[in-house]
């Protein structure tokens, strides 16, 4: 965000956890999310259900050499993930892979 008394942006380059909570329309995207998406040099996973941040920043990140992927289970035009593809074709490992996948996808109490 902007510094309260100077015409400059505030930035932190540490490894701290940050949580941003504010009501809709309070400029979270413009003041925090988009600047981070444009300046952070490493990989990111972003929850962006309306693809607003994707539309603004994905071209820039791709031009900077990043592989950008959009995943939304509800939309056909996005990348996909098939968890069954991780199951080994080798009979020695297949049953163990199926059990592991079942434990991950179907958590029991």
pLDDT digits (tens, 9 = 90+) for 27-69: 888 888 898 899 888 888 888 888 999 999 999 999 999 999 9
97 and 71 share a domain?
no
6 and 19 share a domain?
yes
The domain tally of the chain equals 2
65 and 86 share a domain?
no
Of the pLDDT bands very low, low, confident and very high (cuts 50, 70, 90), residue 9 is low
Of 16, 60, 55, 27, nearest to 41 by C-alpha is 60
71 and 87 share a domain?
no
Torsion of CA 66, 38, 53, 71, to 10 degrees: 20
In whole angstroms, give the CA distance from residue 76 to residue 82: 14
DSSP at 83 = G
59 and 102 share a domain?
no
- What's the burial of 57, exposed, middle or buried (CB within 10 Å: 0-12/13-18/19+)? buried
Domain span holding position 109 = 81-109
The pLDDT, as a whole number, for residue 3 is 58
pLDDT at 1 over 60: no
pLDDT at 22 over 80: yes
28 and 11 share a domain?
yes
Return the structure tokens found at 2: 């902007």
Which residues, 6+ apart, have CB-to-CB distance to 77 below 8 Å?
none
Question: Is the pTM higher than 0.75?
Answer: no
52 and 91 share a domain?
no
66 and 97 share a domain?
no
Question: What sign does the dihedral 64-67-73-78 (CA atoms) show?
Answer: positive
- The pLDDT mean for the chain works out to 86
Q: What's the pLDDT tens digit per position in 65-86? A: 999 999 887 887 888 888 899 9
The pLDDT, as a whole number, for residue 84 is 93
């Amino acid at each position: 965000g902007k510094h309260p008394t100077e015409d400059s942006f505030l930035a932190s380059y540490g490894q701290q956890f940050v949580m941003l909570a504010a009501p809709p329309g309070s400029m979270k995207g413009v003041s925090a999310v988009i600047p981070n998406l444009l300046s952070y040099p490493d990989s990111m996973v972003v929850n962006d259900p309306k693809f607003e941040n994707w539309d603004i920043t994905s071209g820039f990140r791709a031009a900077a050499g990043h592989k950008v992927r959009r995943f939304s289970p509800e939309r056909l035009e996005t990348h996909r993930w098939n968890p069954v593809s991780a199951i080994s074709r080798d009979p020695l490992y297949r049953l163990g892979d199926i059990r592991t996948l079942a434990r991950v996808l179907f958590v029991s109490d």
